Amino acid sequence: MIKDAIAAGIYSDNAALRRAATGGAALCTITAIDGSFSRRLGAQMAIGADGAITGSMADGCLEAALTHHAAEAAEDGKPRFLHFGGAGDPMDLRLPCGSRIAVTVDPAPDRAVLAAAVEALDARQCAELAVPMADGDTFLRPFRPELRIVAIGTGPELAAFEALAAAHGAIVDAVRPFGEGVGCGVADGLSLGAAPDLPLDPWSAVVVLFHDHEWERAIIPWAVASDAFYVGAQGGAPTRDARLAHLAALGLADRAAGRLHGPVGLIERARDPAVLALSVLAEIVALYEVTGP
């Protein structure tokens, strides 16, 4: 599932790290930003020997310039320390946003170090990479595991969410009741009164999409008691009140505070499965983006 998520999320920084770790690709990293820029500090892009790009920096012009510099750097194997946005170099690109950025282009990063970072991410652990800078110092670039979503439910709501989340690039475990559908994320399916036997970490989200809310009585406590940064479930006001009362009776009210979402999603009263999927995924991604490091 991780490989499928990376294929869908080809523009992500983690995907760039993974591509550079396999060898034969330069790794570009934004190490400084002066002003406002469309990408974050530490954004990365891998450039293969054939010019193929994984990740992104800005618009096509900057990518083209970095591809040129990566090819030059590959000839002597030494990093290039570049500035864009008005550094005084006649070959410098003027950035439309008016900002300035510094980029390190490393044609031969330590592949073993990159592989160790990828291994940590696959183990659902954070990683860190030291990127060389022009002044001899290093820029410490943190990484966090890819977004993982455990989506539990039935019918078109779950199908729509599973497809959209996978297209976004998230790692998706879709859990359905026994006998429903083919190719479920959990082969054995789910029994009424049981919760999935899946690990949840601080970069995992759980969304419950049942109309028969009896299914959630075991699932919601399991999710709330975990380290998942997000737990959401559909249902109207009476269902939400009953849900909170059930959690309070189990002594989980404090664990639910700030993480249990209902109404679920950003779009109020989403009735169409596709709209609900978009609404919930946007809410999850928004919270994942502010989840450390």
pLDDT digits (tens, 9 = 90+) for 134-158: 989 999 999 999 999 999 999 999 9
Say yes or no to pLDDT of 253 above 60: yes
Q: Do residues 71 and 84 share a domain?
A: yes
Has this prediction a pTM greater than 0.75?
A: yes
Report the C-alpha gap between 34 and 86 in whole angstroms.
11
Backbone angles phi, psi at 284, to 5 degrees: -65, -45
Alpha helices in the chain (DSSP H): 2-8, 13-21, 60-76, 111-122, 155-168, 216-224, 237-249, 253-256, 273-289
Token representation of residue 130: 């030291």
Say yes or no to pLDDT of 292 above 80: no
37: confidence class by pLDDT, cuts 50, 70, 90: confident
Q: Do residues 107 and 152 share a domain?
A: no
Report the C-alpha gap between 74 and 94 in whole angstroms.
25
| CATH number of domain containing 227 | 3.40.50.720
Say yes or no to pLDDT of 187 above 50: no
Q: Do residues 170 and 198 share a domain?
A: yes
Give the model's pLDDT for residue 5. 40
Q: 127-136, 148-157, 186-195: which has the minimum mean pLDDT?
A: 186-195
pLDDT > 90 fraction of the chain, expressed in percent and rounded: 67
Tell me if residue 73 falls in helix, strand or coil: helix
Q: Do residues 238 and 167 share a domain?
A: yes
Tell me if residue 293 falls in helix, strand or coil: coil
Q: Do residues 246 and 280 share a domain?
A: yes
Q: Do residues 121 and 209 share a domain?
A: no
Say yes or no to pLDDT of 90 above 50: no
Q: Do residues 116 and 7 share a domain?
A: yes
Give the model's pLDDT for residue 84. 84
The Cα diameter of the chain in Å comes to: 69
Q: Do residues 194 and 111 share a domain?
A: no
pLDDT > 70 fraction of the chain, expressed in percent and rounded: 87
Q: Do residues 116 and 33 share a domain?
A: yes
Instruction: Give the list of residues 6+ apart from residue 287 with CB closer than 8 angstroms, or none.
Output: 205, 229, 230
Give the model's pLDDT for residue 60. 66
- The range of the structural domain enclosing residue 176 comes to 148-289
Q: Do residues 174 and 50 share a domain?
A: no
Amino acid in the structure at residue 243: R
Backbone angles phi, psi at 127, to 5 degrees: -140, 170
Give the model's pLDDT for residue 177. 92
Last residue of a domain, one of 93, 123, 143: 143
59: confidence class by pLDDT, cuts 50, 70, 90: low
Q: What is the average per-residue pLDDT within 206-218?
A: 94
Q: Into how many domains does the chain fold? A: 2
Last residue of a domain, one of 89, 113, 143: 143
Say yes or no to pLDDT of 184 above 70: no
Last residue of a domain, one of 90, 116, 143: 143
Say yes or no to pLDDT of 164 above 90: yes
Give the model's pLDDT for residue 30. 94
Q: Chain-wide mean pLDDT for the chain?
A: 88
Q: Do residues 51 and 133 share a domain?
A: yes
Q: At what angle do helices 155-168 and 273-289 cross, to 10 degrees?
A: 40
* Structure-model confidence comparison of residues 95 and 240, the more confident one: 240
Q: Do residues 43 and 163 share a domain?
A: no
